[in-house]
Structure 1
């Protein structure tokens, strides 16, 4: 499974790659992420007085939003992680499920904004 194509019906586009634009997109299309986004921003960026943390912050939340904006993809990743944590008796199967979820998260973090 891959991240949704740009312009796919029903899937919001990726915003401009700035903290402000990403926050606005999260607030509009994935509000369940907003409390964690704001808490993370406050703890690691705003109160740190150190802009060197911004790229790592953006990488994490860019990927989180890229998945959350697509309900089917979000449910798939959540399902993989849930199955690995709660339903697998076989460690190899759990590892494979987590690797699939991780691969999806890595692809999502590389999502591009529409031109």
Structure 2
């Protein structure tokens, strides 16, 4: 186990998970709560989401934050859309900022994250 720096999520212990066909990768599991958010174009219900901070899957681990920028699939009014997803989670406070954007529309929401107790996967 490796402990990263001091602070709220910085005390998060990271384990080594061997992925089939990949080198060993550091993975942390976080659970984040987001309140409802809306714009004139999109609405997002309150939700609790689980994120696996897996560097092999595009997450970046910086001194102060975990971050992800990439594509995501969402359903709006029964239609599937590919959007750009940007997430930044502070390692000091656990605060999270998430932005979805597509075709000139965007929706930003702030939430809070905590270490997730892992029962199905070993970290």
Q: TM-score range by the shorter chain?
A: under 0.3
Normalised by the length of structure 1, the TM-score is 0.25
Q: If each structure's strand is expressed as a fraction of its own residues, which one has the higher value?
A: 2
Instruction: State the TM-score, normalizing by the size of structure 2.
Output: 0.24
More helix by share: 1
Structure of greater relative contact order (alpha carbons < 8 Å, 6+ residues apart): 1
